């Protein structure tokens, strides 16, 4: 497998598996659905952020950091995995967690990822919705620096050009798996939010010389806004790689599936989560992979793919979030 020259550390279990969804495939009779199990990356219940953190932590160490700062929603998967990475390499960690408007689940503010953040030893700053998280982190970083610390600030989702290298690496890993298993895919479907996973994967596949459409199911914004966000980050990544830039036509997003807002439950998400669990023994999360898989199922039902296609679903993890949504997911 081609290797990136950018520094990284080892945090995850690679490569993550490729698996056919046999019972779901029997249910809908084509296209043939597969899953890449990036919920199995191994760090603190796994998830896509482990790939990004391998590069971000390496960068932090090169810069002499003593403490990591990052931000997200209350149930941020990136925050949980950042706290785990900090614990693993011996760095301090502070998380700036913003309340999400309109989510009224009884377990939302103290179960799931929030509980894990605390167990991992992170210091939590709980903020009301609408905060400028970058500004809050910058102010805290200044205070920490004045006290003799060396803070390293990560953006929401770890989605900058350095973090996105994790999914460039995933694109190269996938290319190696396709060759080893003598298999091909006609499309890849994933959840897209902070943009680093989709942008990095597009760059990685291009680096490997593979042209597979990557379809992003948005979790928080319109397809126009999301495509602009992904394209801008994609071009940053490709500039860092000294790679020819992909055209905007390569960035495809669907915005029909996130409902009334980020983190808000939807009937199709609940159906997708229950279907994957009951037919495949596969746990999706309510915020990202559940909505992305709901989008994939809807595209299948409406004939977006040919029945002879083979489609890969990238499971980005986030399953601890299930426990924060027990009210809407439980049938009791």
Dmax (CA) for the chain in angstroms is: 62
CB atoms within 10 A of CB 236: 17
3-class DSSP state for residue 124?
Answer: strand
Element containing residue 170 per DSSP (H, E): helix 161-181
What is the end-to-end Cα distance of the chain in Å, rounded? 48
Catalytic residue among 76, 164, 268, 289: 76
Q: What is the dihedral of CA 25, 26, 28, 29, to 10 degrees?
A: 90
Strands (E), 29-158: 32-37, 67-73, 92-98, 123-127, 151-153
Q: Quickly list DSSP for 254-323.
A: E-SSSTTSTT---HHHHHHHHHHHHHH-----TTTHHHHHHHHHHHHHTT-S-TT-EEEEEE---GGGGG
CA distance 260 to 180: 42
To the query of whether residue 76 is one of the catalytic residues in this protein, the response is yes
Element containing residue 214 per DSSP (H, E): strand 214-218
User: Angle of helix 289-301 relative to helix 267-280, nearest 10 degrees?
Assistant: 90
Catalytic residues, which ones?
Answer: 76
């Amino acid at each position: 497998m081609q290797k990136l020259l950018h520094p990284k550390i080892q945090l995850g279990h690679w490569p993550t598996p490729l698996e056919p969804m046999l019972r779901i495939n029997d249910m809908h009779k084509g296209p043939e659905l597969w899953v890449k199990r990036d919920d199995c990356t191994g760090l603190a219940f796994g998830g896509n952020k482990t790939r990004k953190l391998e590069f971000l932590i390496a960068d932090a160490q090169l810069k002499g950091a003593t403490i990591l700062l990052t931000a997200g929603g209350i149930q941020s998967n990136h925050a949980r995995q950042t706290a785990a990475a900090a614990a693993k390499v011996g760095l301090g960690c502070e998380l700036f967690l913003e309340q999400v408007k309109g989510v009224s689940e009884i377990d939302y503010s103290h179960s799931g990822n929030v509980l894990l953040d605390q167990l991992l030893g992170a210091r939590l700053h709980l903020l009301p919705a609408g905060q400028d998280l970058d500004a809050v982190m910058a102010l805290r970083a200044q205070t920490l620096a004045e006290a003799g610390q060396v803070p390293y600030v990560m953006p929401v989702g770890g989605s900058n050009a350095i973090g996105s290298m994790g999914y460039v690496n995933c694109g190269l890993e996938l290319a190696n798996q396709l060759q080893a298993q003598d298999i091909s895919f006609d499309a890849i479907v994933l959840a897209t939010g902070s943009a680093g996973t989709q942008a990095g994967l597009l760059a990685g596949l291009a680096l490997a010389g593979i042209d597979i459409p990557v379809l992003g199911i948005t979790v928080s914004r319109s397809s126009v806004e999301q495509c602009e966000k992904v394209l801008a980050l994609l071009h940053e990544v490709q500039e860092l790689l000294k790679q020819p830039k992909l055209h905007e036509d390569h960035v495809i997003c669907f915005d029909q599936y996130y409902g009334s807002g980020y983190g808000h439950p939807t009937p199709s998400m609940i159906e997708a989560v229950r279907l994957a669990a009951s037919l495949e023994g596969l746990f999706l999360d309510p915020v990202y992979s559940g909505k992305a898989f709901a989008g994939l199922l809807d595209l299948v039902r409406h004939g977006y793919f040919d029945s002879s296609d083979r489609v890969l679903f990238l499971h980005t993890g986030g399953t601890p979030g299930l426990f924060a949504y027990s009210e809407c997911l439980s049938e009791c």
